[in-house]
Amino acid sequence: MMPVIFVTDALIFLLVFMVVVYVFYARQHEHLRAPWHNVSSRPLAMSAAIILAIYIVVGLLDSLHFHPKLEVTKSSDTIYSTEVSSVLDLVLGDLHQNTERTYSAPLASYAFAKEMIDLPDGKQTRTYPRLKYGGAHLDEPATDSAADITKNIFIGCVFGLVISSILLGLITFILSKAHKTSFRRVLKQIYKNDFHVAWTAMIITMSLTIIVLTIVYNLAQYYHVFGTDKVGQDVLYQAIKSIRTGLVIGTLTTLVMLPFAIMMGLMAGYFRGWIDDVIQYLYTTLNSIPGVLLIAASILLLQVYIGNHADDFNSIEERADLRLLFLCIILGITSWTGLCRLLRAETLKLREIDYVQAAQAFGVSNLSIMLRHLLPNVMHIVMISIVIDFSGLVLAEAVLSYINIGVDPSMNSWGNMINGARLEMAREPIVWWSLAAAFVFMFVLVLAANLFSDAVRDAFDPRLRH
């Protein structure tokens, strides 16, 4: 394996690093610890956090890219494929390779449409052919598949229950150590929902998701759980691979725009005068251009760049990645103005407060006033805007893909799935599974993000409720 690091990968890990640093920082500061403590006591928010965590793990696994090794040839030196895989692909195993010829319904053993088939006796007939992978282990799928699916769901269920009980034991054990009480007592407390931290809700959510995951995993060994698309690719695989795209757009966009928004907002509010005027001018101007037009023009711009430097991009993934990054940047440019304006207003208020005035009187440099006195006091606004923007950005990706100015068409994304599925809705019988898969995956993520961001917002700033 030869690791490859795309730009977005690097940025994602930078983001992870920043989150870790923030966690350590927040633990030591009461004014940050308290609201997070508040968040952790909300059952709905913590359930949402569990779901988000699962998405994030998948996204991170999908961000570890490498060139797989090709089979050994006569020559001694190893050769790597020019294609790019990720650790997630290893986890998902054969899901990617198991492609059928064309459409097949979820959990089907036969193809979706009739085809001409050569019979052994040389004649031809028109019928629903067996799938290459879906239900391939069955002899008589027509009669056996329902029982087989039920059996697999049951096995998955049992496995899920086993894993969740082990997890429950583990958590109880750790909690009993931490609270210095008996194992039984903790178990009882969890049952009665008697912790400040919403452990009970978290454990229930975790168990449910684990059971769902094991069932899906178990079924995916033998079937296409979400069916296959027009060229026979597993829809489940596409939906899972799309997670990274959604997360990248939702987080990197904010990451990219944060430095500008914070710097500009603070400067405008702190210095006032002509600096304020210039910055206000800048964001009013940017704001007044319809966002879609700005994005469309920029995406075209990128295509020109890639077109002119075609040789620098050896793989389809690299091109797609650059486009994704660019989309994040341009979405960032169109969305930083809101945060900037909020920060400016807050800074205008803050700079009149005694200790800032005092620091100015003592001749503390402007930069350090901004960094040490102003920045920490506006961080809650930044925090809130990050979590609120996330779900909006994930949804925006789908709309942009619809007008062909979203991510690269070769990239797995929910927007691309929806866009492709639009036409499938007209089929009779209707091909609903691509749309359904994109809907489910996206809906769960956005719902979780919305619930979590509500809690964060309430905890950090009850006044900013709207």
Partner 1 sequence: MTKHIKIINPHILDYSAISKLFLCLLLLCTGCDNSPWNNPYPNQDSAKNIYYDSFSERPKHLDPVSSYSSNEYVFLGQIYEPPLQYHFLKRPYELIPLTAIELPKPELFDKKGQLLEEDANLGTIDRVKYKISIKPDILYQPHPAFAKNASGKYLYHDLNTQKLSNIHALSDFDTVGTRKLLAKDYVYQIKRMAHPRVHSPISGLMAKYILGLNDFAEELSKIEKDNPGTSFIDLNDYELPGARVIDDTTFEITLSQKYPQFLYWLSMSFFAPMPWEADYFYSQAGMTEKNITLDWYPVGTGPFMLSENNPNLRMVLERNPNFRGEAFPSEGESGDQASGLLDDASKKMPFIDKAIYSLEKESIPAWNKFLQGYYDTSGIVSDSFDQAVQFNLQGNAELTDEMQEKGIRLLTAVTTSTSYMGFNMADEVIGGDSERARLLRRAISITVDYEEYISIFANGRGKPAQGPIPPGIFGNVQGEAGINPYVYQWQGDRPVRHSIEHAKELLAQAGYPEGRDNTNGKQLVLNLDSPAAGPGSKASFDWMRKQFAKLGINLVIRATDYNRFQEKMRKGTAQIFQWGWNADYPDPENFFFLLYGPNAKINHNGENAANYKNAEFDELFNQMKSMSNGPERQAVIDKMVEVVRKDAPWLWGFHPVGFSLHHQWYKNAKPNLMANNTLKYKRIEPRLRTESRSLWNQPIWWPIALLIFLALILLLPAIISYRRKETESIL
Partner 2 sequence: MISYILRRIAYAFPILVGVNIITFILFFVVNTPDDMARMQLGMKRVSETAITKWKEERGYDKPILWNSSSESLEKITDTIFFQNSVKLFVFDFGRSDSGRDIGHDISQRMWPSLAITVPSLLLGLLAYISFGLTLAFFRGSYVDVSGVILCVVMMSISGLFYIIGGQYLIGKFLHLVPISGYDTGFNAIKFTILPILVGLIGGIGASTRWYRTIFLEEMGKDYVRTAKAKGLSEARVLYQHVLMNGLIPILTGVVVVLPSLFMGSLIVESFFAIPGLGSYTIDAISRQDFAIVRSMVFLGSVLYIIGLILTDISYTLVDPRVRLN
**According to the binding rule CB under 8 A, does residue 340 interact with partner 2?**
no
Query: Can residue 403 be called a binding residue for partner 2 (CB under 8 A)?
Result: yes
447 interacts with, out of partner 2, partner 1, none, CB within 5 to 8 A per kind: partner 2
Q: Which of 3, 28, 30, 73 forms a contact with partner 1 (CB under 8 A)?
A: 73
Q: Draw the binding track, 415-454, toward partner 2 (x: CB under 8 A; -: no contact).
A: ---x---x--x---------x---x--xx--xx--xx--x
Q: By C-beta, is 128 or 402 nearer to partner 2?
A: 402
Rule CB under 8 A: choose which of 1, 14, 25, 115 binds partner 1: 115
403 binds, among partner 1, partner 2, none (CB under 5 to 8 A by kind): partner 2
The reply on whether position 99 binds partner 1 by CB under 8 A is yes
Give yes or no for residue 81 binding partner 1 (CB under 8 A).
yes
* Residue whose CB is less far from partner 2, 86 or 238: 238
Of 134-193, binders to partner 2 (CB under 8 A) are none
Q: Which of 20, 142, 300, 371 binds partner 1 (CB under 8 A)?
A: 300
Among partner 2, partner 1, none, partner that 200 touches (CB below 5 to 8 angstroms by kind): none
Stretch that binds partner 2, among 18-26, 170-178, 253-261, 284-292 (CB under 8 A): 284-292
| Residue 313 beta carbon to partner 1: minimum distance, rounded to whole angstroms | 8
CB of 26 to partner 2, least distance (A): 26
For position 315 contacting partner 1 by CB under 8 A, the verdict is yes
- What is the 3-class SS of the chain, one letter each residue? CEEECCHHHHHHHHHHHHHHHHHHHHHHCHHHHHHHHHHHCCHHHHHHHHHHHHHHHHHHHCCCEEECECCCCCCCCCCECCCCEEHHHHHHHHHCCCCCCCCECCCCCECCCCEEEECCCCCEEEECCECCCCCCCCCCHHHHHHHHHHHHHHHHHHHHHHHHHHHHHHHHHHHHHHHCCCHHHHHHHHHHCCCCCCHHHHHHHHHHHHHHHHHHHHHHCCCCCCCECCCCCEHHHHHHHHHHHHHHHHHHHHHHHHHHHHHHHHHHHHHCHHHHHHHHHHHHHHHHCCHHHHHHHHHHHHHHHHHHCHHHCCCHHHHHHHHHHHHHHHHHHHHHHHHHHHHHHHHHHHCCCHHHHHHHHCCCCHHHHHHHHHHHHHHHHHHHHHHHHHHHHHHHHHHHHHCCCCCCCCCCCHHHHHHHHHHHCCCCCCCCHHHHHHHHHHHHHHHHHHHHHHHHHHHHCHHHCC
| Least CB distance to partner 2 at residue 192 (A) | 22
- Considering CB under 8 A, how many residues would be counted as binding partner 2? 37
Contact region with partner 2 (CB under 8 A), list: 66-74, 133-141, 194-202, 289-297:
289-297
Using a 10 angstrom Cβ sphere, with 0-12 exposed, 13-18 middle and 19 or more buried, the burial of residue 272 is: middle
Binding site residues, partner 1, CB under 8 A: 70, 73, 75, 77, 79, 81-83, 99, 101-102, 113-116, 124-126, 229-231, 233, 300, 303-304, 306-307, 310, 313-316, 319, 404, 408-410, 416, 419-420, 422-429, 431
Binding site residues, partner 2, CB under 8 A: 281, 284-290, 292-294, 296-298, 300-301, 304, 391, 395, 398-399, 402-403, 418, 422, 425, 435, 439, 442-443, 446-447, 450-451, 454, 465-466
